[in-house]
A and B are shown apart, each in its own frame.
Chain A
Amino acid sequence: MSTTTSERTQAAPKARRNPKLMADGRRRSWFAIITMTVLAVLWTIPTIGLLITSFRPREDVAASGWWTMLNPFAGDKGLTLDNYRGVFEGASMGSAFINSIAIAVPATIIPIMFAAFAAYAFTFMNFPLKDLLFIVIVAVMVVPIQVAFVPMLNVLGPNGLGISGQFAAVWLLHTGFGMPLCIYVLRNYMNTLPVSVVESAKIDGCSHYQTFWKLVAPMAMPAMAAYATLQFLWVWNDLLIASLFLSPDNQTVIVRLAQLLGTQGQGQELLTAGAFVSMILPMLVFFGLQRFFVRGLTSGAVKG
C-alpha cells in the first residue's frame, strides 16, 4: 500500500477502531441493534417453545411450561424422542409425509413449465388480444380459490372424471391456481431481460422455440427458482385443497396435523412433534432457495 493512496483507504481500518462506526463507515445505531435483537427474539420464542415441547415427555408437558427446561435449577429435565417415534408409528405421519412430497414436487414443477412459455409470448411477441389476455391473468390472480371448489368437486368427482381423492386431482388444481401468478412473475422478470439478445437470436435464424430454450429459460432461472419456492411452500402448506380433494389414504402432513389439533386430549403430545415434522422440509427448501427467492422477488418480479 503506497502512502499516497493510503489517505482514502485508511477510512476502513480507522472505522474498525472507532466503536461508533461500522466496518463500512456508517454510524452504528444502537437503537436499531437493540430493537432488532428484541424483535428477532420475540419472533423466535413461539417456535422455540414448540421445538422444546416436542422433546419433552407427555407428563412433563401437562405439568409445566416448556420454559422450565431453560431453568438450570428446575427438577424435571427429561428429554425424549418418544413423541417423534409416536408420530411416525401411530399417527400415520410417515405416510402422510411421503404423500406431501408426492403432491408438492409435481405441483411445483408442472405449472412453471407451462407458465414460462406463456410468459415468453407475453414478453417477446406481439399478437392480437395480447393485452386483453394479460389483463384476464392480472384479474384472475385476485379471485379467491374458493370459487373453484363446488364446480371442481363435480368435474373431478365420480360424476365427472372420477379422479377426486387422488394425487392427479390435486396436481391439476395447484397447477391451475398457481398459473396466473407464475405467468405474472415470470413475465415481469423477462421484461427486465435485454430485448436485443432475443432479437439478435432471431436474426441468427433461431425460432422462438429455440430462443426460449437456449436463451430466455436459462436467463429466467432466478425468477423460476423464486416462484418454485413460493409454489412449493404454498402446495406443501395448503390445507383447504388437500382436505377437500384427497382421500384419507392420500392425506398430507398438514391435514393430519390439523386433525391432531382438532382432537383435544388424546394424542396431544404428538401434536408438537408432528408440527415440527411438517415444518422441516419447507424450511430446508426455503433457506436453500432463499438467495433466489429474495433476488427473484425484489428484482422486477414483484414491481410496485
Chain B
Amino acid sequence: MSTQGTPPVAQDVPDEPDVDLTQTPTKDPQAKANMAGLAIGVVGMALTAWLAINLFLALAFYPQWFFHNKFLIGAIGAIAGVGAAYVLFYFLNKFIDSLPRRLSNGVIPYAFVLPGLGFIALVLIYPTVQTVNYSFANRDSTAYVGLDNYREIFASNEFWQSLLNNALWLLIVPAVTVILGVAVAVLADRLSATGEKVSKSFIFLPMAISFVGASAIWNLVYDWRPADQGQTGLLNAIWTGLGGTPQVWLQIDTARLNSILMMVILIWLQVGFAMILLSGAIKAVPEDTLEAARIDGANERQVFFKVVLPQIKGTIITVFITVLILVLKIFDIVFVLTNGRNTSNVIANLFYNELFARGEGGTASAIVVVLLVLVLPVLWYQVKTFREEQGQ
C-alpha cells in the first residue's frame, strides 16, 4: 500500500528546500509525506469501499440475513450509504492530508469531485455511449446490424405518430404552464399575505402527486358510462348536463383530443412549480423600478409588460426549459391512461413497449438515440447560457 505513496514523495524532494526557505520555514510539518497517514488513508478507503459494496450486495442477494424485513433493509441501506460516504471521505481526507502539502492542495479538489462524478459516469455517461452503440446492434445486443434499427423505426407509422404527438406536447404544455404560472404568481401577489399563502397552497398541492396518482385522479374526471346510466365522470356529467351524449374522452383522437386531455393533467401538476419560481422572481423585482414607471404615468398593464416581464425573463426561461425537458420524456401519464392507443403514443412510451413488451433492445436503443438528438438543442442552449453567466 505504501509503495503507492512513495513516487510522488520522491518527485517532490528536490523542490522542498525552496518552499521551506521562502515560506514559513519553521511551520509546515507536512512538507513531507506522512507515511503512516498515507497507509491508514489507503487501507481505510479500500476497507470502507469493500465493506460497503459487500453490504449492499448482501442486502440484494441475502435478504434472509435481514429477516426479509424491508424496513430493516431500507434503514441499513440509508445508514450504510451515508455512513460509507462519510467514512470514505474521512479516509480520503486523511490520505490527502498525509501527502506533501503542495501535492495535497492539487489533489483535494478531485477527491471531493470524483466520487459524485463517478456515479454520473456510471449511470449516465457510460450508458449514453453504450446506448448509441446498441442502437446499431440486434435485439439482445449480440451482433451488429448496421442501420437496420433506424430503418425499421423510420419506416414505422407508429414512430412518426409518436413524434408528432411529442411535438404537440412540446408546443402546448411548456407555454401554457408558464403563462398560467405567471398569471397565478401575479394575481397571488396582489392578495393579502394570508390569502396568498392559502391560495398558493391549493395550486401547488398537485406537485406532490405522482403522474400515476394524477392519472388516477383524472381518470375519474374523464370516466364514461353508457347514456342510459348515471355518469360518474365529472366531465361527462357536465357534458350531458349541457345536452351532449356521453363520450369516451380518452378514445377520441379527432384533433388529438385525447392527447390534449392528458396534457391538461401535466399542466395541472406543473403550474404550482412554475408559480413558486416565478413568484419568487416577481417579488425580487425592485419596488423603485415599479414606482418610477408609475410616476412616469405607466398604467398597471404597461408596468407589468415593460418593467416586470423583462426582469423575470431569466426565470421564465428556466421554468420553460425545465418543463420542456419533462415533456420531452413524458411517459407515465400516457402509459397508464391509454398506453398509446388511439394515436396518443409518445416517444418514451414507444421506447418502453419496444424494450419491455417486445424485448427489442436494438430498436429501443435507436428510439432513445432519436430522443437524445431531440434534446441536443436544449443541451446546447443550457451550456451556452451557463458559460455566458460564468463569463460575467
Contacts and interface: CB of A to CB of B under 8 A. Distances in A.
Interface of A: 22-24, 26, 28-29, 31-33, 35-37, 39-41, 43-47, 49-50, 53, 61-67, 95, 98-99, 101-103, 105-106, 109-111, 113-115, 117-118, 120-122, 125-127, 130-131, 133-152, 154, 161-163, 166-169, 171-173, 175-177, 179-180, 183, 207-209, 212, 233, 236-240, 243-244, 250, 254, 257-258, 261-262, 271-272, 274-275, 278-279, 282-283, 285-287, 293-294, 297-299, 302-304
A202 to B, nearest CB: 11
A28 B187 CA distance: 11
A179 B120 contact: yes
Interface string B120-141: 1011111110110010000001
Contacts of B195: 33, 36
B372 A147 contact: yes
A137 B120 contact: yes
Contacts of B337: 261
A118 B120 CA distance: 12
A20 to B, nearest CB: 13
Contacts of A271: 216, 219
A103 to B, nearest CB: 7
Interface in B187-226: 187-188, 190-193, 195, 198-199, 201-203, 205-213, 215-221
Given A117-B112, A146-B351, A39 B81 contact: no
A275 B203 contact: no
Contact of B213 (A149, A175, A278): A278
A119 to B, nearest CB: 8
A62 B232 contact: yes
Judged by DSSP, the binding face of A is helix
Given A137-B120, A166-B60, A171-B81, A286 B208 contact: yes
B70 A95 contact: yes
B386 interface: yes
Interface of B: 56-57, 59-61, 63, 70-71, 73-75, 77-78, 81-82, 85-86, 89-90, 93, 97, 106, 108-110, 112-113, 115-117, 119-120, 122-128, 130-131, 134, 141, 184, 187-188, 190-193, 195, 198-199, 201-203, 205-213, 215-221, 229-234, 237, 268, 271, 276-277, 279-281, 312-318, 322, 325, 328-329, 331-332, 335-337, 339, 348, 351-352, 355-356, 361, 364-365, 368, 371-372, 375, 378-379, 382-383, 386-387, 389-390
Given A136-B120, A147-B128, A147-B372, 16 more contacts: A32-B190, A36-B199, A40-B202, A61-B232, A109-B81, A113-B85, A122-B113, A140-B124, A144-B329, A146-B371, A237-B212, A275-B216, A278-B210, A278-B213, A297-B277, A304-B315
5 contacts: A29-B187, A46-B234, A147-B127, A147-B372, A167-B74
A278 to B, nearest CB: 5
B212 A118 contact: no
A102 B268 CA distance: 29
A171 B119 CA distance: 11
Given A43-B268, A98-B70, A144-B371, A254 B280 contact: no
Contact of A152 (B108, B127, B336): B127
Contacts of B352: 240
Instruction: Give the residue among B130, B279, B364 with the most A Cβ atoms within 10 A.
Output: B130
